[in-house]
Structure 1
Amino acid sequence: MPRAMWSGSISFGLVNIPIKMVSATKSVDIHFHQIHEKTQCRVRQKLYCPQTDKEVPRDELVKGYEIAPDQYVILSDKELDAAAPKTGRTIEISEFVDLVSIDPIYYDKPYYLLPEERAAKAYQLLVNAMVKAGKVAIAKFVMRNKEYLAALRPLGNVICLETMRFTNEVILAEQLEGMPKPVPVDERELKMAQQLIDSLSEKFEPGKYSDEYSGRLQELIQKKIEGEEIITEAPPTEAEGRVINLMAALEESLARAGKKKKEFKQPRKRQSRAS
């Protein structure tokens, strides 16, 4: 069971619901350390000042904001504390919106909000009300001296809080250089592309997908632990980008998709038991 990483309350109107926050995700990345090949010892990084050619102790460090190459504005801890958001333990709901009105580009990281025992009824009331209204809540809160924008939405019988990026943190597509200009599309190609989408359309099942790279790394590490000899193969070469016959590619893709679906739906033959 994940441990609570923050506790506070949800506030909307005059209703206050004590909650605790639990992470809704976990990292499964495989991390490596830098090892000196000759000694097999882990290397360490030191704080170094090129001007004095000496190592710098941590108590001599200050925070600086670069305003030009090698030019910094120094900010003291006292000045930073004065600018920090006011600490609080309240997730203040400001409004309710339709879920479809939020572009996923604004989402950052999900958390579960679990009610304290005495707040179970008020918590359930908020969940049921959001489900019935088809709305999600938009709120702001402070955690670890950082201000967050968040969306609260019912997920089953639990409230999922999704931290969000502020507008100035998002690069909109319209701001990109080299934005593609609309080009005419052949109606036959469009119809065939739609058929391909239909043939590949399924209900989303997260369990069907896994991190194959991490799996291969885990297998490789286990083999190394067990002293097995590792035989490496050259990676497959990928075809360079080239202009293709779009219609032919769509027709071939449709044929493959249909064949794959047919094979998937065929029942597997049972092996006869030996008498």
Structure 2
Amino acid sequence: MPRSIWTGSISFGLVNIPIKLVTAVDSKNVSFKQIRRSDSSRIRYRKVAEIDEEEVANDEIVKGYEVAPDQYIVIEPDELKSLDPKKSRTIDIADFVDLADIDPIYYDSSYYLVPQETAAKPYLLLHEAMTESGKAAVARFVMRSKEYLVVIRPLDDALAVSTLTYDDEIIKPGRLDLPDRDELDVSDAEIKMAEQLIESMTSDWEPERYTDTYREKVLALIEAKAEGQEIATPPEVEEGGEVVDLMAALEQSLQAAKDAKGDAKGAAEKSA
């Protein structure tokens, strides 16, 4: 089982459910080190002062908030520490809301809540009640001197918890440069054709079908170079031009989607 990164309890009315917080994501990003091409020597970074380019020791570095160009207010570590939220081992549920009402744009990092040995029954009770009601719990808790706003929801047999982005940090669509509906004429026929294309491309949600193809290519490249293979640089692909006839493009896309489904069905029948 993944390692616990926080232990505490869920506060659910007068009920406390001892839990462990474990990560729900195992990042598989390919990491690189910066090296000098000529001898593979590692590149290191020094902290230097901009005014004289002299290296600065860690004990000389303080936090500064820029209030005007090159004007800073120095904030001392103790001053920040005095503002830290009160340490707590409780995930305090504030509200229950309809899970469908929470737009995914608010989700940040995801974890699982796992019951401690004495909490199996109340954990299961909360899980079942939330599943039956379709509700999610909005809560707060403190981890590593930072308070998090989270949503707790049933996921299969577990309770998943996701940290949330605060509403004032979300860029609302009204701030974007979006098409003016009044100035564009989208015909009913075009909408119908787009709906048919969507329907032809619709399938069940199977997350295992979608893999990180870029990471796979990077790992294959690393393996090939480690084996001494010569790597040919592929030619640049020209970007497609602007779609002139939207209806014709939709019709061609719909036919291509139907052909692809037909090929996939035939391959599945052959392998059966």
- TM-score of the superposed pair, with normalisation by structure 2: 0.95
Letter in 2 for 1:202: S
Give the Cα–Cα distance (whole angstroms) in 2 for the partners of residues 96 and 57 of structure 1: 49
Shift of 1:268: 5.0
Q: Secondary structure at the match of 2:82?
A: helix
Kept in 1: contact 2:4–2:21 (CA 8 A): yes
Give the Cα–Cα distance (whole angstroms) in 1 for the partners of residues 206 and 127 of structure 2: 24
**What residue number does 1:216 align with?**
217
Shift of 1:227: 1.7
Q: Percent identity?
A: 47
Deviates more, 1:133-142 or 1:44-53: 44-53
**What residue number does 2:22 align with?**
22
1:181 matches 2:180? yes
Residues 1:269 and 1:50: Cα distance change in structure 2 (over 3 Å): closer
Q: Secondary structure at the match of 1:50?
A: coil
Q: Secondary structure at the match of 1:149?
A: strand
* Within-5 A mapping of 1:36-115: 36-115=36-115
Moved over 6 A (4+): none
Per-residue Cα deviation, 1:203-242 (whole angstroms, up to 9, x for no partner): 01111111111111101111121222222222322224x2
Give the Cα–Cα distance (whole angstroms) in 2 for the partners of residues 42 and 209 of structure 1: 35
Kept in 1: contact 2:243–2:249 (CA 8 A): no
**What residue number does 1:201 align with?**
202
Shift of 1:34: 1.1
Give the Cα–Cα distance (whole angstroms) in 2 for the partners of residues 229 and 243 of structure 1: 38
Aligned length: 268
Deviates more, 1:83-92 or 1:223-232: 223-232
Shift of 1:50: 2.7
Q: Which runs of 5+ in 2 are unaligned?
A: none
Shift of 1:54: 1.3
Per-residue Cα deviation, 1:238-273 (whole angstroms, up to 9, x for no partner): 224x24201100110111111111111114547xxx
Kept in 1: contact 2:94–2:137 (CA 8 A): yes
Residues 1:12 and 1:268: Cα distance change in structure 2 (over 3 Å): closer
CA RMSD across the alignment:
1.3
Shift of 1:33: 1.2
- TM-score of the superposed pair, with normalisation by structure 1: 0.94
Per-residue Cα deviation, 1:37-67 (whole angstroms, up to 9, x for no partner): 1221011000001323311011111111111
**What residue number does 1:228 align with?**
229
Letter in 2 for 1:181: D
Shift of 1:159: 0.4
Kept in 1: contact 2:48–2:56 (CA 8 A): yes
Letter in 1 for 2:214: Y
Q: Secondary structure at the match of 1:27?
A: coil
Deviates more, 1:182-191 or 1:163-172: 182-191
Q: Which runs of 5+ in 1 are unaligned?
A: 271-275
Give the Cα–Cα distance (whole angstroms) in 2 for the partners of residues 40 and 254 of structure 1: 51
Give the Cα–Cα distance (whole angstroms) in 2 for the partners of residues 24 and 60 of structure 1: 38
Give the Cα–Cα distance (whole angstroms) in 2 for the partners of residues 180 and 71 of structure 1: 40
Give the Cα–Cα distance (whole angstroms) in 1 for the partners of residues 43 and 247 of structure 2: 55
1:252 matches 2:258? no
Kept in 1: contact 2:152–2:162 (CA 8 A): yes
Residues 1:43 and 1:252: Cα distance change in structure 2 (over 3 Å): same
Per-residue Cα deviation, 1:188-211 (whole angstroms, up to 9, x for no partner): 111111111111110011111111
**What residue number does 1:150 align with?**
150
**What residue number does 2:161 align with?**
161
Give the Cα–Cα distance (whole angstroms) in 2 for the partners of residues 210 and 147 of structure 1: 33
**What residue number does 2:12 align with?**
12
Q: Secondary structure at the match of 2:80?
A: helix
**What residue number does 2:263 align with?**
263
Per-residue Cα deviation, 1:53-83 (whole angstroms, up to 9, x for no partner): 3110111111111112211111111100111
